[in-house]
Amino acid sequence: MGSYNGGRLEDALWVGKEASGGWRFLMPNWLDLPVWLIALAIAFPLGTLVEYWGHRLMHAWLLKKKHAEHHRDGWGQGWLGEFFDYVVGALPIIPLGFLYSQEAGYGFAAGAMLVAAFAAYSHQLQHERPELCFWMGSPVHYLHHYKHMWKKNFGISCDIWDRVFGTYEKVEWQRPPRRSWLGLFTIHWGWNATGTRARPIATTSMAAEVLKTGEQLGAAGASRL
């Protein structure tokens, strides 16, 4: 084989193979990381992809009645309730890591749970305090609701996959210059055992707008089903 920066290419690559005859893969020496950590990292892009397509399918046929009610109500059901729903939705992919090894299985499952936890947090935050969603240029899920979007902006924790699949729609939105970062920790964390949705506890203008237009959002969504 050829040379690599003055050395043999074989020396620059690490070839790993499970003793049981598992998959082969190539990676640079400096990426010789624990398998569980690699699997955990892989869970993040894959988990957000499932989040995107799960939400997009809800606007087509998947749980469409329940989702139309969510658009009608205009609020989240609390972090715990959202987390439960995301874990249930992720069940088909959580065991994937075990197809490679037990270590990868545990790492991937842990990553999937972290993605579900963050997606639940992102969802609840954007229904209560969207101006505090600092990791995105604009709170894409909040705008998805407030701007009556039924075919655009399906991302929740990020907008990357909307951009990849052409469903991202830029909306003019001004982030308030003054905001209390304490709101990052004062979202509704619980879950009503009766199954009723928790109303936002915030009183910001944007949260109030969500409540005002809740019925309109639901009507717009139902008309497209």
Q: Provide the whole-model pTM.
A: 0.73
Q: What is the pLDDT along the chain (225 residues), one digit of tens a residue?
A: 443 444 443 444 444 444 444 444 555 554 678 999 999 999 999 999 999 999 999 998 887 788 888 888 777 889 999 999 999 999 999 999 999 999 999 999 999 999 999 999 999 999 999 999 999 999 999 999 988 888 999 999 999 999 999 999 998 888 888 788 999 999 999 874 443 333 443 334 444 443 444 444 444 444 444
Q: Which two tokens stand for residue 104?
A: 């990868």
Q: Which two tokens stand for residue 204?
A: 């910001």
Residues ≥6 apart with Cβ < 8 Å to 203: none
DSSP run (H or E) holding 140: helix 140-146
Distance separating the N- and C-terminal Cα atoms of the chain: 58
